[in-house]
Amino acid sequence: MAELYKITSNGAIVEIKKSPFSDEPKDLENFIMNNEKILGNVALLNHQIILPNNKRIDIWGVDLLDWRPIIVELKNDVCGLEIIPQILPYYSFMKTHPDSFKLNASSNNKFIKKLQDLGIDKGKFLKGLEGDPKVILVAPGFKDELLNTTDFITFDIESIQISRYESDENEYLVSIDKPQIPLSPPVAVRVMEDWDWEKYEREGISTKKIGIAKSIKEQIDHLIRAEGIDLQPIFRKFYIPYQIERSNVFLINIGYTSLETGDVLLSFKLEKNVDLNNEGIKIENTKTEWSEKYAEWSIYFSKNVDITPLLPIIKRSYEHVTGVKIED
């Protein structure tokens, strides 16, 4: 279990005491609802959703990358296999009753305003609610038996470990970790939908967008091989993340604006905004954008260009996510 310390100006080491959440339905739940970016690129809609069998979903919303619903299950204790039979009815109901959640979302004016503020098309969001739900487990810890099991289940489960500490200044510090599966399961144990360039085209993405995305991917693959950067590109629904141990470092997004038109988006996880002019990086592009909320810098391409000048950004994103510096 991780411990947190502060080193004072005189060199003394002071332990920062843990301040666990008092309960699930209020303290932890309110914290997650007010700090949704802890869960990644998500937009949370509502909490304590009562199902017809009187069971309650803690929190639900939508994944803004995969465009599918998410179920957030909260636990205030170390979580084991007992959670599996609890989340199965939630997953089953959300998968088989997408119209119920569409109605819930459409009638929530506050949430619709949130979508508008994020620049998300309402129609695209509602269509996404028909997708395969993803379950996010949030707890102070997870038993190995659970982590080993989740990768053999046919729907997506993500585990997020959260610890809260209280500093001397009466402020809270929060530690977030995404524990990895401790054992290496056999290849292809999970049944997942296969995506590739041909499937993107069958789903209606224009030949132009696919051509731009292919060019970007080929260049990135060449750059990271040349630099010895160990990242794996994975084809997903309308985007291609480059990952290390399931964490996205950067990604190519071809679902931006619409399936048929619009630019291809290249987004990096970074600590701060990038000013290309100040850094002397010259590259043809449509525009760039910084998301403070998601700590993500994006650059838009409407044609094939040389992205070699972005190599410093690729390295910086890798170092930001992994904490490992790439030697020049």
CA–CA gap between residue 249 and residue 235 (Å, rounded): 14
pTM of the predicted structure, to 2 decimals: 0.56
Give the position of tokens 């996205």.
Answer: 248
Q: Please list the residues that pair with 62 across neighbouring strands.
A: 43, 69
- The CB-based long-range contact list for 161-169 (8 Å cut-off, 24+ gap) reads 162/38, 162/138, 163/2, 163/18, 163/20, 164/18, 164/19, 164/20, 164/21, 164/31, 165/4, 165/16, 165/17, 165/18, 165/19, 166/16, 166/17, 166/19, 167/6, 167/16, 168/6
C-alpha torsion 245→249→255→261, nearest 10: -150
**Which domains are seen in the chain, by residue range?**
13-177 (3.40.1350.10), 197-322 (3.90.1150)
Confidence at residue 257, expressed as pLDDT on a 0 to 100 scale = 65
* Confidence (pLDDT) at 310: 95
Predicted local distance difference test score (pLDDT) of residue 170:
65
pLDDT at residue 52 in the model: 72
Asked if residue 42 lies in contact with residue 114, where contact means CB atoms within 8 angstroms, the answer is no
Identify the pLDDT of residue 273. Answer: 93
Please state the φ and ψ torsions of residue 292, each to the nearest 5 degrees.
Answer: -65, -35
What does the pLDDT read at residue 145?
Answer: 77
CB of 165 closer than 8 Å to CB of 173: yes
Per-residue pLDDT of the chain in tens (328 residues, 90 and over written 9):
566 666 777 777 777 777 777 765 678 888 888 888 888 888 887 788 777 777 788 888 888 777 788 889 988 888 888 888 888 888 888 888 888 777 777 777 877 787 777 777 777 777 777 778 888 888 888 887 777 776 667 678 888 888 877 766 666 677 777 776 544 444 444 444 578 999 988 888 889 999 999 999 999 999 999 988 988 899 988 899 998 877 889 999 987 665 556 789 999 999 899 999 898 999 987 788 888 877 889 999 989 999 999 999 999 999 988 888 877 6
Q: Are 240 and 217 in contact (CB under 8 A)?
A: yes
Strand 172-177 and strand 247-253: the pairing is unpaired
